[in-house]
Chain A
Amino acid sequence: MKNFYSNIFVWFFIALLASSCDSVSTSSGSNSEDSEESSWLIPENQVFVGAGRDAIPSLDDPSFKPVNEITFIDDDELILGVKIDGEIKGYPHQILNYHEIVNDLVASTPVAITFCPLTGSGMAWNRVVNGRETTFGVSGLIHKNNLIAYDRATDNFWSQMLEMSVKGSLQSERTSSYSVVEMTWSAWKNAFPESMVLSGETGFDRNYRVYPYGRNYNQNNEFILFPIHREDGRLERKTLAHGIFYDTNLHVFPIKYFPDQLKVINRNIAGNEVVIAGSSKDEMVVSYSSVAADGSVLLFFESEKELPALMKDNEGNEWNLFGECVSGKREGEKLDRLPSYNAYWFAWADFFGQTPRLPIIVSP
């Protein structure tokens, strides 16, 4: 009897060892296997798995409330905002930290707000991809600490900071983007008291008052979650900076270098006339082309009025935060947006530090 039990255990052990093969099995509602089979446009060894696909859930049916009904945002917290066809909507970082992507309609235009908490970069993408309306989701993959989104219609993987498909049938195709402004909640609610703001009633049980990446990720320069491949010590890693790039020319404007009061800078970047306006108090920097619709190059100055008034020009026109002319002979015109967004310095350096020219740091 004793030998019988001994044999059972020995054979069980042998069976256990025999079954000890390593494996991964996956099943998903993926629409296409193209993405899984195609290669990466970016070095594959720089792509890390941060979480499962949609483990960070996008908001696909967002709800909004008027500014005066929003109570969970502290004054110094940041908010992203867009204005399309007259409709203004705000998307607080406190919610984006937990969801990263909001698939929304702004004035009936399908828009995806994408935000990467690790690189501090936020954008608004057109949700029409390859002629089809889609939604974007969080792939769970990370490139240089930055969000890789995927779209649910084509299963392409989209690098947020490169603003292009880096894997899939649309590889190398760029996203179509809308202007985004970013500022403190305090500045936003003064500038846009009539706007609608993404509410905390998301359908997900989360504590949006608590920052999800530790107490001080956005301030601690030593604390980076995934490896950095290229460093540039000219600025502290977590310096939030507005970057404008034309081809290989990246100009970076650290937001904290702007004075508290609004400052407007007219500048030529790689042969392009641009205007940059910012305030460190409001943690806000925006940039537009200085070239008006008729081809005239305008020269801008600070507006004496409060936000959303932003600038006046050498013709006496007044322009707002979204680059719209609100008074003067050009009223109704809109300045072209620039290829620009905000991100932490370490991410700018890691992504674009090896272009033929190093990023140019501009202090206003």
Chain B
Amino acid sequence: MSDMTKKVFILTLTIVLLAGYRFTYAQTCSCAGAPLLGSQSYGTTESGNIEIGITHEYNDISSLYAGDSFLDDQNTTRFTQSTLLEINYGITRRFSLSGTFSYVIKNRVTGLQTNNPEDVTTRGLGDGIILLKYVLKESSLASQYQIALGSGFKAPIGTTSLRQNNLLMNADMQPGSGAWDTVLWSYFSTSFVPHTNLSLFAINSFRITGSNDRFGENDHYRFGNEWISIVGVGNSFTDQFGYSMTFRFRHTTQDQRNEQRMPNTGGTWIMANPALSYGMTDQLTFRISAQIPVYQYLKGTQPTTSYALSLSAFFSFNKSSDFIRL
């Protein structure tokens, strides 16, 4: 990395971080079941290339947990459907820009055991994430590993003002969060060509949340910080078909209102994500994947993911890239 490039990267990173922190005191957010951070297609994009990915995820969040104990709750069901649009652009050989935008549908049925169910569905534009990525170490045949770092922010472009009977709905039914968050990201991958097509990769991301003013100007609600670590392995059956298996560790701290921790928020999850991919052409790839809970520990009592399914399509305007679409 040249000194000039390093300076540009550090300067950009600083600006983005400062921008994120500047907004830290401007919000609140609820993203119940709506993926955003960690849902990107992981890699970096070559210079001049534009890649677009569209993912639709169905997340069944009907399980109820107290700590790590499953509670057999028959009173409430929930699901979230998210459509994510991810756009990646390779600015230079090392810099790329990634934007992820979402449209979210949330459904909640309550009162199933009191014989008076209420079925509520909300839908609207969700929040978006902008990440600037920098390839610290490029992969080559002689040294087949890549390291990339990134930083950015989650912008509260999502809807937070949906009302039911003229009353502002609770935060976990709003498509958006209302908060600016700072996002840090890192990526590592290695491959073993020509011996095998197998590749290993690891992604870490950290979201430092801002606060929202849902309850008033001087009343600050802040969703918990989020840490996601993903490790996985990918391989191909044929030139067209591939598979992957990833494990996702996710930890969120408790939400806070005016610096007081909110009950029944925050937790730790480990999910297994098996996925199959099909490269229809050099430009177009499809992927189907599932999310299966392996371990969940939730603070207090909370609904959480029973399972999730997603279907994705990725399109590269120029050519295949180093995307790991898993």
What is the interface of chain A, defined by CB distance below 8 A to chain B? 1-2, 5-6, 9, 12-13, 16, 19-30, 36, 44, 47-55, 57-58, 60, 137, 140-141, 152, 203-207, 210, 212-214, 217, 220, 222-227
Contacts and interface: CB of A to CB of B under 8 A. Distances in A.
A137 B117 CA distance: 11
Contact of A214 (B64, B215, B263): B263
Contact of B75 (A19, A55, A207, A225): A55
Given A49-B170, A55-B111, A57-B111, A24 B301 contact: no
B125 A205 contact: no
B75 to A, nearest CB: 5
A52 B120 contact: yes
B281 A1 contact: yes
A52 B108 contact: yes
A17 to B, nearest CB: 9
B119 A51 contact: no
Nearest to B215: A227
A21 B261 CA distance: 33
Interface stretch (B32-40, B65-73, B89-97, B231-239): B65-73
Contact of B110 (A30, A51, A60): A51
Contacts of B121: 24-26
A116 B159 CA distance: 31
Contact of A220 (B159, B215, B260): B260
Contacts of B281: 1, 5
B18 interface: no
B113 A137 contact: no
Most chain A C-beta atoms within 10 Å of own C-beta, residue among B167, B168, B264, B301? B167
B163 interface: yes
Contact of B111 (A48, A53, A225): A53
Given A21-B124, A227-B215, A54 B114 contact: yes
A58 B52 CA distance: 48
B257 A204 contact: no
Contacts of A212: 263-264, 300-301
A47 B111 contact: no
27 contacts: A16-B54, A20-B103, A21-B123, A22-B162, A24-B120, A24-B164, A25-B121, A28-B111, A28-B117, A28-B119, A49-B169, A51-B170, A52-B118, A53-B118, A55-B108, A55-B110, A57-B111, A141-B167, A206-B71, A207-B66, A207-B301, A210-B301, A212-B263, A212-B300, A214-B261, A220-B260, A222-B259
Interface in B192-225: 215-216, 219
B114 A58 contact: yes
A174 to B, nearest CB: 23
A29 B317 CA distance: 50
Nearest to B263: A214
A5 B316 CA distance: 10
B: interface residue count bin? 35 or more
Q: Is the interface of A mostly helix, strand, loop or mixed?
A: loop
A321 to B, nearest CB: 32
B75 A48 contact: no
Given A55-B75, A227-B215, A227-B219, 18 more contacts: A16-B83, A21-B123, A22-B175, A25-B121, A28-B111, A29-B117, A52-B120, A53-B118, A54-B110, A54-B118, A58-B114, A203-B113, A205-B71, A206-B66, A207-B66, A207-B71, A213-B263, A214-B264
Contact of B159 (A22, A210, A213): A22
B284 interface: yes
Interface string B61-90: 000101001011101100000010100000
Nearest to A39: B166
Contacts of B73: 204-205
Nearest to A54: B111
B262 A225 contact: yes
B2 interface: no
Nearest to B76: A55
A104 to B, nearest CB: 15
B156 to A, nearest CB: 14
Contacts of B124: 20-23
A251 B125 CA distance: 50
Contacts of A47: 167
A140 B122 CA distance: 17
Interface string B101-138: 00100001011011111111111110000000000000
Given A5-B281, A137-B111, A28 B116 contact: yes
Most chain B C-beta atoms within 10 Å of own C-beta, residue among A49, A137, A210? A49
Nearest to A27: B119
A5 B284 contact: yes
Interface string B21-53: 000000000000000000000000000000010
Contacts of B120: 24-26, 52
Contacts of B168: 48-49
A217 B263 contact: yes
A335 to B, nearest CB: 36
Nearest to A26: B120
A52 B216 CA distance: 22
A240 B261 CA distance: 22
Nearest to A25: B121
B315 interface: yes
B165 to A, nearest CB: 5
A344 to B, nearest CB: 15
A217 B300 CA distance: 13
A5 B75 contact: no
A222 B159 CA distance: 30
A152 B116 contact: yes
Contacts of B83: 16
Nearest to B170: A49
A28 B114 CA distance: 12
Nearest to B83: A16
A24 B118 contact: no
B170 to A, nearest CB: 5
Contact of B283 (A2, A26, A55): A2
B73 to A, nearest CB: 6
B122 A23 contact: yes
Interface string B240-265: 00000000000000000111111110
Contacts of A26: 118-121, 164
Given A28-B116, A36-B165, A50 B170 contact: yes
